[in-house]
Amino acid sequence: MIININDIPTSGKDFNFEIDLTSLNQRINGVNSLVEEGNLPLPEYRFKKPPQASLHIYVQGTSVFINGRASGVFLAPCSRCLEHIETSLSTKIQITLKPRPKYLNNQEQDEDVGFGYYIGDEINCADLVEEQLILNLPQTITCSFPSVTQCPKASARIKELCKNSKDKEGDERMAIFRTLKVN
């Protein structure tokens, strides 16, 4: 959703819109295509329906202030049992934008999440909301069971790993300790 800041009255304007589902999911999981072979890919997050955004935008001088909320429902694997879990996400959005100074090139960016720059008279609000949703995704997702031992699928995976490790001589990193003798 591209907004022309010249069309916003001094009292501000409210915007309600959906985020493009395909664009958001590709943006979240695009980094997995860069993972080298042999390394584990990052957990995959998939939004099921287009997230909803509700923003109030107002302009003071050349500064643009964006306040609102965005929410959606996504699927992600449980960090214990790897089953996909449906989780809701609702995030507050509070961003201040200023015109990009001429001396600042595209590679230079401030690392402040609530501050940014715009070029010209248009702002892509969908990109800003996508960024806020991605930044607020939880790092780990766990199923409803309070611990690994209480989750039947996680317990079964652990038992299988333990059973398979007994067939071998153990962890090769511990081989040096097996050669030590205790007096």
Side chain identity, residue 92: K
For residue 166, pLDDT over 60 is answered with no
Average pLDDT estimate for 125-142 = 90
For residue 113, pLDDT over 80 is answered with no
134 shares its domain with 154: no
For residue 16, pLDDT over 70 is answered with yes
152 shares its domain with 84: no
128 shares its domain with 117: yes
Please state whether beta strands 84-99 and 115-118 pair in parallel, antiparallel, or not at all (unpaired). parallel
Count of structural domains within the chain: 2
137 shares its domain with 150: no
Contact 98, 63 (CB under 8 A): yes
Q: How far apart are CA 32 and CA 92, in angstroms?
A: 27
15 shares its domain with 60: yes
Instruction: Look up residue 32 and give its DSSP letter.
Output: G
Average pLDDT estimate for 13-18 = 94
Provide the 3-class DSSP secondary structure of residue 170: coil
Q: Is 87 exposed, middle or buried (0-12, 13-18, 19+ CB in 10 A)?
A: middle
User: pTM score, two decimals?
Assistant: 0.74
pLDDT in tens, 76-87: 988 888 888 899
51 shares its domain with 16: yes
138 shares its domain with 81: yes
Domain residues for the domain of 28 are: 2-144
172 shares its domain with 105: no
173 shares its domain with 98: no
pLDDT at position 164, please? 67
For residue 152, pLDDT over 90 is answered with no
Positive or negative: CA dihedral 57, 59, 60, 62: positive
For residue 3, pLDDT over 60 is answered with yes
pLDDT at position 130, please? 92
pLDDT in tens, 20-58: 999 999 888 877 777 777 666 677 889 999 999 999 999
